[in-house]
Chains A and B, each alone.
Chain A
Amino acid sequence: MIDESNARAWFDWALHEARKHGVGDVEMSLHASESALTRFANNTIHQNVSDESGAASIRVAIGKRTARVSTNRLDEASLRRATAQAIDLARANEEDPGLPPMAPPEAIAPGERWDAETAALSAEARAGAVREAIGAIGGSAAGIYSNERSTQFLLNSNGVFARHDETGATFSVTATASDSSGWAKASAVRAGDIDTLALARSASEKAALSKAPRRMDPGVYRVILEPAAVLDLVGQIFGDCSATALDEERSFLNGRFDERIFGSNITIRDDVRHPLQDGAPFDGEGVARRALTLFENGYPREMPYSRSAALRAGRPATGHGYALPNDVGESPVNVVIEGGSSTMPELMAKLGRGILVTRLWYIREVDPFRKVMTGMTRDGTFFVDGGEIQHGVRNFRFNVSVVDLLNAVEAMTAPGRASGEESFDMVVPAMLVGEFPFTEVTMF
């Protein structure tokens, strides 16, 4: 793994090489990680992997021209060669009048995202937890148990020196019965915060409850979206929540910024310091991530600004920019959706008659301005009546506008950290949605 002394030494090599070529503006990001993942299916471990890597990414700026070269060869000759290549690319590039100068240094409090036990979680420990999970499932079990540790640095010739250390673990499990399935997943900075056995039991219970699924007609239903379904669907809008997207007129917020766009019960923040969040407290240029209220009581409020976007707009950057040069500018990455006060049983009671959705799958954007998304339900879809699960149902296809969805939320649980497969991990509640359009039914 990279430590502070070799980070500084490697940056000095790059800076020295750049100065040999008459270039003074250099930025280097360094990333080192060790990750491992145990994968199981059909009640046996079938894939079990580990990888260890490190990489340097060097950006140079020559006036208003810039370019980046990355390498995982971290010896002096390779880093000098990468720097020289970046200079060649930058010289071949066009001038970008909007290119900001290298970021200035600022004090950034470290994030508390490291857990030594998670960093050291062994293949044996993962296999033991997997064996226990398989034992808790009546049918066929499949899933993963992974852990990772990483260190990143960002340095530039203007004096920026930022460091972030992080661990993470993820457990995901699918229980499959003869004609049904159930799923559960959790991720955390600390593996000890994940109750793998409880997740396995939850997946198994869902598979049992959804056996012999019945076909229900497509139509508009009252629906409860569990947190993983909320994040996978609502997560599709955050690429549009960006000053650059608005500038380029590719955001669903274009022309609507002064309107109440979602229901008055919807407030969404971006907050890297939230205790359930993860990630570095600085962005791709080394700017400290500021907390933003993206939407407040349904109104758009604060958008992320990269340094380039901030320069164009004459306002401060918010610390959400991607490493330059890039095609997208900036976006929120630490989303927290404020929830409500309902418990899950209360949400079920309020639903009355409707559909409970565990998880969504293969979500794709159909209309970029109305934010219409299509996708499928998966691994635990239930008909609820009288606040109780009555039976499993065959999986539905939906075509839903996320804007309409967030105008139809009747009640929410308190938010918690959730993990899906179609968007990044977030802190979100379960939502009771008054109208949710299912357009087709599949064969299982």
Chain B
Amino acid sequence: MRQLALDALELAKGRGVQYADVRVVESETQDLSTRNGRVSQVTGSDSTGIGIRILAEGAWGFAATDDLSRDGIDKAVFKARAIAKASAMAKLGDVVLAPEQSWTAEWDSPCAVDPFRISVQKKLDYLLKVDEALRSNKAVTLTETSFHGTRTRQWFANSEGSVIGQTRTVTGAGCACYVFKDGDLQKRSYPNSFGGQYQLKGWELIDEIDMLRRAPSLAEEAAMLHAADPCPAGEHPLILDSSQLGLQIHESIGHPIELDRVLGSEANYAGMSFLTLDQLRRLRYGSPMVHVVSDATIAHGPGLGTFAFDDEGVPAQRTDIIREGLFTGYLTSRESAGAIGENRSNGCMRAADWDRLPLIRMTNTSLEPGAQTLDEVFDVPHGIYMETNKSWSIDDKRYNFQFGCEAAWEIRDGRRVRMLKNPVYSGISTEFWNVCEAIANRDHWTLWGVPNCGKGQPEQVMGTGHGASPSRFRGIQTGAL
């Protein structure tokens, strides 16, 4: 693969380019799932291809192919060069890249137990046991369990001399149960909804999340939701579990700080951002206890946004996004960094696969742990605690959001006193973060994986990481839908 990348780069350099980079990517995946005690999916796949990005005549061209013969790659190089020429037909100025030194490196993500070495039989046996445990509650009408494993090997080379190999192993798993009764469908999921937890780990993740232990109480909660009262409407202190807060960070901080979105690149599709350039280092984006970072380094943890180098060959970095409540940073690329006066990208260009162009994407956008114990976070005379995302929606500039959760509880004097169903909460991004009044400490901090973040045209689905611990927000609009 390394030699293939270098050979393709030489072909590109021979086409009269200002800059070129190539990525050869090889991936393998496995997906297993069960429904109602039966195996529903047993699939594997592999994919290999090359993406070639060329800057010529001041404009970009990109072509990708899975024909890895010399002719196939030469044809793709020719096409990328021709596309750059066509792009120049409608350009206002030349693309300028922030400088970056050349790197030679190889990096493998940590993986204690290779998920591809665990037999399919063992994985299915485990999922079926979890499925059975969920169905031990007779009220349950549908159960789901799933396992996902991906290994991606990539070689990157660019015309400035960088040659970088990276291998990333991702494991994900989750379970869910539904109870349909009297025209009402309730659901509980663990450890998170929409597929569970995903991290840059191996099979050890499955041991850590221990779905089998949680399954009986999860099913009981799904059944109990039918008898629960609707979440009351009004303004309340709101406590969010760390998984829901992870998605709140993703939508109301992570997307607005993407500098390409701010500059208008996504105006037709994913939208723009309220974080216009004049807000940098001026906007009060949170209460003084709110510290948010974008951190792709392994020191931050095994998140879906963890790597050694981004897909422009820029090393993983940690950037302050919100420091003591003040907005301090965007996610940038080599092309966009200059727009905010930076002379270097902070390393956020990521491509979903060999056939996709790198875009500015979240890495791990995380809320730093606070100083409170969990008891202190819950210590309110009266409030609402919500857990596990059910629905999420935010406007195309990322101001107005509404989230629904699977379950909620009324809190009286720091204790859960009754379960509540169909909870939703809504607000405006900056107003929400400005009323953050308690953040649990590192003992309760989890680095959640969001495996399904969509952006770009053609759409790219990317995994991002979000660290959070349970936190409390003052005077949030809640209700039931």
Contacts and interface: CB of A to CB of B under 8 A. Distances in A.
Contacts, number: 265
> Could you say which of A92, A128, A250, A378 has the most chain B C-beta atoms within 10 Å of its C-beta?
A92
B400 A366 contact: no
Given A51-B355, A364-B392, A94 B128 contact: yes
B395 A66 contact: no
B457 A39 contact: yes
Interface stretch (B1-9, B77-85, B161-169, B439-447): B77-85
A37 B65 contact: no
A143 interface: yes
A366 B267 contact: no
A49 B271 contact: no
> Could you say which of A98, A140, A376 has the most chain B C-beta atoms within 10 Å of its C-beta?
A376
A298 B60 CA distance: 51
A131 interface: yes
B458 interface: yes
Contact of B393 (A71, A131, A376): A376
Interface residues of A, number: 93
A400 B85 CA distance: 47
Contacts of A106: none
A238 B267 CA distance: 28
Contacts of B38: 94, 96, 98
Contact of A361 (B45, B185, B395): B395
A255 interface: yes
B106 interface: no
> Could you say which of B141, B266, B268, B396 has the most chain A C-beta atoms within 10 Å of its C-beta?
B268
Contacts of B399: 442-444
A440 B60 contact: no
Interface string A414-444: 0000000100000000000000000011111
A28 interface: no
> Could you say which of B90, B92, B356 has the most chain A C-beta atoms within 10 Å of its C-beta?
B90
A374 B402 contact: yes
Measured as residues with beta carbon below 8 angstroms from the partner, the interface class of chain B is 35 or more
Interface stretch (B11-19, B117-125, B285-293, B305-313): B117-125
Contacts of B397: 442-444
A32 B183 CA distance: 44
Contacts of A444: 395, 397, 399
B317 to A, nearest CB: 24
Interface string A122-140: 1110111011001000001
A255 B42 contact: no
Contacts of A375: 393
Nearest to A73: B48
Contacts of B277: none
B128 A50 contact: no
A188 interface: no
A254 interface: yes
A250 B180 contact: yes
Interface string B425-461: 0101000000000000000000000000000111000
Given A55-B47, A374-B402, A128 B89 contact: yes
Nearest to A130: B90
Interface string A77-97: 000001001101110111010
A93 B33 CA distance: 11
A240 to B, nearest CB: 10
B180 A45 contact: no
B389 to A, nearest CB: 10
A122 B65 CA distance: 17
Interface stretch (A150-158, A160-168, A172-180, A227-235): A172-180
A37 B459 CA distance: 11
Given A70-B44, A374-B391, A50 B64 contact: yes
Given A49-B62, A131-B89, A142-B268, A92 B47 contact: no
A82 B60 CA distance: 36
Given A51-B65, A89-B44, A362 B396 contact: yes
> Could you say which of A70, A98, A122 has the most chain B C-beta atoms within 10 Å of its C-beta?
A70
Interface in A313-372: 325-327, 361-369, 372
Contact of B62 (A47, A131, A173, A442): A47
A98 B35 CA distance: 13
Contact of A146 (B93, B187, B456, B458): B458
Contact of A38 (B51, B86, B185, B481): B86
A363 B318 CA distance: 33
B275 interface: no
A73 B422 CA distance: 47
Nearest to B30: A89
A72 interface: yes
B104 interface: no
Nearest to A69: B44
A143 B266 CA distance: 9
B63 A376 contact: no
Contacts of B65: 51-53
Given A54-B66, A250-B142, A325-B41, A49 B402 contact: no
B86 A443 contact: no
B184 interface: yes
B264 A41 contact: yes
A43 B93 CA distance: 11
A326 B392 contact: no
Interface string A47-64: 111111111010000000
B424 to A, nearest CB: 7
B380 interface: no
Interface in B145-175: none
A156 to B, nearest CB: 17
Given A42-B263, A90-B42, A123-B86, A327 B400 contact: no
A134 B66 CA distance: 34
Interface in A174-214: 174, 176, 181, 183
B335 to A, nearest CB: 9
A397 B426 contact: yes
B402 A440 contact: yes
B392 A68 contact: no
Interface string B100-142: 0000000000000000000111001000100000000000011
A364 B90 contact: no
B302 interface: no
A50 B41 contact: no
Interface string B38-79: 111111111111010000000111111111000000001001
A248 B142 contact: yes
A18 to B, nearest CB: 16
A44 B92 CA distance: 6
B86 A126 contact: yes
Interface in B353-410: 355-357, 390-397, 399-400, 402, 404
Nearest to A126: B86
B396 A376 contact: yes
A368 B90 contact: no
B124 A174 contact: no
Nearest to B82: A123
A442 B393 CA distance: 12
Given A50-B64, A72-B47, 4 more contacts: A45-B90, A48-B86, A67-B42, A124-B89
21 contacts: A37-B457, A37-B458, A41-B264, A41-B267, A48-B62, A52-B64, A52-B66, A53-B65, A70-B44, A71-B45, A72-B47, A94-B124, A96-B39, A144-B269, A365-B391, A368-B185, A369-B184, A395-B395, A397-B400, A399-B481, A443-B399
Interface of B: 33, 35-36, 38-49, 51, 59-67, 76, 79-80, 82-87, 89-93, 119-121, 124, 128, 141-142, 144, 178, 180, 183-185, 187, 263-269, 271, 274, 355-357, 390-397, 399-400, 402, 404, 422, 424, 426, 428, 456-458, 481
**9 nearest CB pairs, A to B:** A123-B86, A142-B267, A442-B400, A92-B120, A70-B45, A51-B64, A51-B355, A249-B180, A67-B42
